[in-house]
Amino acid sequence: AQNEQKRSVELQARGFISQSAVDKQKSTTMLARARRDQARAELDLARNQAQYTELKTDTAGVVTAVMAEVGNVVSAGQPVMRVAADGGREVLIQVPEGRAPALRAAKRISVVLYADEARRYVGKIREISPQADAETRTQEVRVSIVAADAKVQLGATATVYVAGSGDNDSFRVPATALGSRDTQQAVVWRVETASDGGLSAQPVPVEVREYLDDAVIVAGALHASDRLISAGVHLLVPGMAIMPVDRTAKAAL
């Protein structure tokens, strides 16, 4: 178009074409330039949009959830994956509504991995959800693991132990964990390591201080890290070999 415009100007100067023909050629040249600029802009936009077809994260980590499937049409800004950053480790737990704030006053918080119960890590409350879940009426609490080592892997199962905030030696235990001995002494059954390396049940005398709907407040020679048996306590005898099962575990069909 530029060559045609240059040629038309030369022809008009020699009197072969009119000024209107030159003006028409100038308009054609301007239109061609506009189309060129538009094409360049569309190319830049296409290149920019093509970058969104590649999902990149600004930190190393592990994909913990995929919220879209291959072939789905998603809008800009819609999350499609959740990535747990590879760095500090924390445990997510749920506690009854209204009891979460009391965790901040705890004297000591410790974390034990299900895969390595011999090691105990120091825990620290990092975040407490301000609202309770509408269905479970529990609040989410995130407990950071201080000085976590390579054994603390993402996705691992752990137990969080919380020591009281004062000198109170009372403990809240499930009502089904309370039993009695021949002397009618109230006891709870603690899981202990036997001499052969296995696990056994041992009675711990306690004083019942309060009965709740589904729990009992007791006092005795207990520690926050103790594991108590909460079902079938009437069948236990001291030193009986046991195999603990998580209360939340479902029976296999």
Domain boundaries, the chain: 2-49, 85-168, 169-245
Which residue has tokens 């600004």?
A: 58
Q: Indicate whether this model's pTM tops 0.75.
A: no
Please report which confidence band the pLDDT of residue 247 belongs to, taking 50, 70 and 90 as the band edges.
low
H/E stretch holding 19: helix 19-51
- Chain centroid to CA 118: how far? 25
State the SS3 of 87-126: CCCEEEEEEECCCHHHHHHCCCEEEEECCEEEEEEEEEEE
Residues above pLDDT 70, as percent of the chain: 86
Please check whether residue 215 is in contact with residue 176, taking contact to mean a CB–CB distance below 8 angstroms. no
Between 50 and 165, where is the model more confident? Answer: 50
- Domains 85-168 and 169-245 agree in fold: no
Query: In the predicted model, what is the mean pLDDT of residues 105-121?
Result: 83
Residue 23 predicted with pLDDT over 70: yes
Averaged pLDDT for residues 98-106: 71
Residue-wise pLDDT tens digits, 139-161: 888 898 888 888 888 888 888 88
User: What percentage of the chain reaches a pLDDT higher than 90?
Assistant: 9
Sign of the Cα torsion 180, 186, 192, 196 reads negative
Q: What is the CATH number of domain 169-245?
A: 2.40.420.20
Torsion angle of alpha carbons 152, 153, 159, 160, nearest 10°?
60
- Tokens encoding 36: 């060129």
> How confident is the model over 32-48, as a mean pLDDT?
89
Predicted confidence (pLDDT) at residue 166 exceeds the cutoff of 50: no
CA-based diameter of the chain, in Å?
Answer: 129
Half-sphere exposure of 164 (CA within 13 A, CB side): 10
CATH of domain 85-168: 2.40.30.170
More confident residue, 3 or 84: 84
Going by pLDDT thresholds of 50, 70 and 90, the confidence category of residue 249 is very low
Over residues 50-69, mean pLDDT: 81
Nearby residues of 126 by Cβ (< 8 Å), 6 or more positions away = 90, 142, 143, 144
Mark 68-102 as b/e (b = at least 16 C-beta within 10 Å).
eeeeeeeeeeeeeeeeeeeeebbbebebeeeebee
Q: What is the mean pLDDT of residues 42-68?
A: 83
